[in-house]
Amino acid sequence: MRSTQIELLQSMPIFGAIRQDALQFLLEQAREVVVRAGEFFFREDDQATSMFVLESGRAVVIKGWQGRDTELHRLGTGDCFGEMALMDLFPRSASVFAIEDCRAIELAAADLLRLFERDAEQFALIQMNIGREVCRRLRATDEQLYQVTMGERHSGLETLFLDA
């Protein structure tokens, strides 16, 4: 199982160029979580101390506004979410809801701290990769916001209202 998890992590931008021994160490610290369809990984404004890598299943990122939940993004196998928690220490900015039974790897900030104590170089690479991923997502969001603001995409952001 660990070799499959290492391959999954190595295929992701956040863990690009990270050595196998460092990934093995992280996986030894990590927890495997199962979230059933219809349940939340976490909710908006929850305390944030970890990120997740989706091993199987599908989930959606939703954000509440004016008493309604709006879908922002769909997640599938190999996607990660919650990584901002490892950098900014703020509460969750959105909720993640399982639309199928899901299995995920949960990596906590404390797990990365242990990696830092063991191998500061590999820790720094992961932090840089997380920063790059967050920047890529911010650029995409900025572009969507710009297009909507300029009237180029009246229906640009697909939204699905879910019952909370």
Q: Which domains does the chain have, with CATH numbers?
A: 2-152+157-161 (2.60.120.10)
Q: In whole angstroms, give the CA distance from residue 154 to residue 147.
A: 9
Q: What is the pLDDT, as a whole number, of residue 163?
A: 40
Across the range 123-149, mean pLDDT stands at 88
Q: What is the pLDDT, as a whole number, of residue 158?
A: 45
* 3-class DSSP state of 57: coil
Task: Give the list of residues 6+ apart from residue 156 with CB closer than 8 angstroms, or none.
Answer: 144, 147, 148
Percent of the chain at pLDDT > 70 equals 91
Say whether pLDDT at 152 is over 90.
Answer: no
Say whether pLDDT at 157 is over 50.
Answer: no
Distant-in-sequence contacts of 13-21, Cβ < 8 A, 24+ apart: 13/129, 13/132, 13/133, 13/136, 14/80, 14/83, 14/126, 14/129, 14/130, 14/133, 15/126, 15/129, 16/129, 17/125, 17/129, 18/122, 18/125, 18/126, 18/129, 19/122
Q: What is the pLDDT, as a whole number, of residue 164?
A: 36
pTM recorded for the entire structure: 0.84
What amino acid occupies position 93?
A: S
Q: What is the pLDDT, as a whole number, of residue 1?
A: 55
Q: What is the mean pLDDT of the chain?
A: 89
- The per-residue pLDDT for range 11-64, each reduced to its tens digit, is 999 998 999 999 999 999 999 999 999 999 999 999 999 999 999 999 999 999
Q: pLDDT band for 153, please (50, 70, 90 cuts).
A: low
Q: pLDDT band for 76, please (50, 70, 90 cuts).
A: very high
